[in-house]
Amino acid sequence: MLRIDVISALPEMLEGFVHHSIVKRAQKKNIVEIHLHSLRDFGKGSHRQIDDYAFGGGAGMVMMIEPIYEIITSLTAERDYDAVIYMSPDGKKFNQKEANRLSLLSNIIILCGHYKGVDHRVREHLITSEISVGDYVLSGGELAAAVVIDALTRVVPGAIGNETSALTDSFQDNLLSAPVYTRPPEFNGWKVPETLLSGNHKKIEEWQEAQAYARTKLLRPDLLDSQ
């Protein structure tokens, strides 16, 4: 079983996400376990403070090291973690290969940044890796964490009904997916390619492979360069 512990200043942002769709089904099947933790439970003083002004000045608040240290320490005291990930816009770009790798782990902590970010000592001493979902800045790491959780959950064996579906997704082989169609075979004069209606599985596979390569070359040639 894969266990994911998410640390957040606003865990309620993830409540709906973890209780729907594939992520919900994976938990019901007991192949993925997701726990949301509020950083404010470890906040300082009567106001449960988790942020403070930055040394040296500048706009924005910074998440304090003490509550983050305490919550991570409390979790790692209970079990060994394979990864402690910080969601950060300047982290390593997330991709399908990384989702596949993470799906094979047993225990993961995901720390969601907020405000102006975390005290840099957290990044130096408490985490094992940083992940970015794109070259842009979000208000917090919760949405980015949801992206990572969804991507890796769906490739955990048993998470989706047809495991072949996940294996043929875009990016699994550094290729985009081939076009897909469903009924009716003709609509408004727009027809489904005859090959897909032929019943000849060998020809269908060859068509799909050719289409995947052609679409990748047209839309994402950079993926071919990285093969």
Asked whether residue 39 is domain-assigned, the answer is yes
31 and 116 in a single domain? The answer is yes
Asked whether residue 164 is domain-assigned, the answer is no
CA-CA distance, 83 to 73, in Å (whole number)?
14
Residue with the larger pLDDT of the pair 209 and 171: 209
pLDDT value of residue 59 = 86
**What is the average pLDDT score of the chain?**
93
Domains contained in the chain, number: 2
The Cβ of residue 185 has, within 10 Å, a number of other Cβ atoms equal to 13
118 and 18 in a single domain? The answer is yes
Model confidence at 46: pLDDT above 90 = no
Q: Tell me, what CATH number does 194's domain have?
A: 1.10.1270.20
Asked whether residue 8 is domain-assigned, the answer is yes
Over residues 151-173, the mean pLDDT reads 75
Model confidence at 79: pLDDT above 60 = yes
pTM: 0.88
CA-CA distance, 61 to 52, in Å (whole number)?
5
Domain, as residue range, for 131: 2-153
Over residues 139-148, the mean pLDDT reads 97
Angle at 31 between CA 86 and CA 100, to 5 degrees: 50
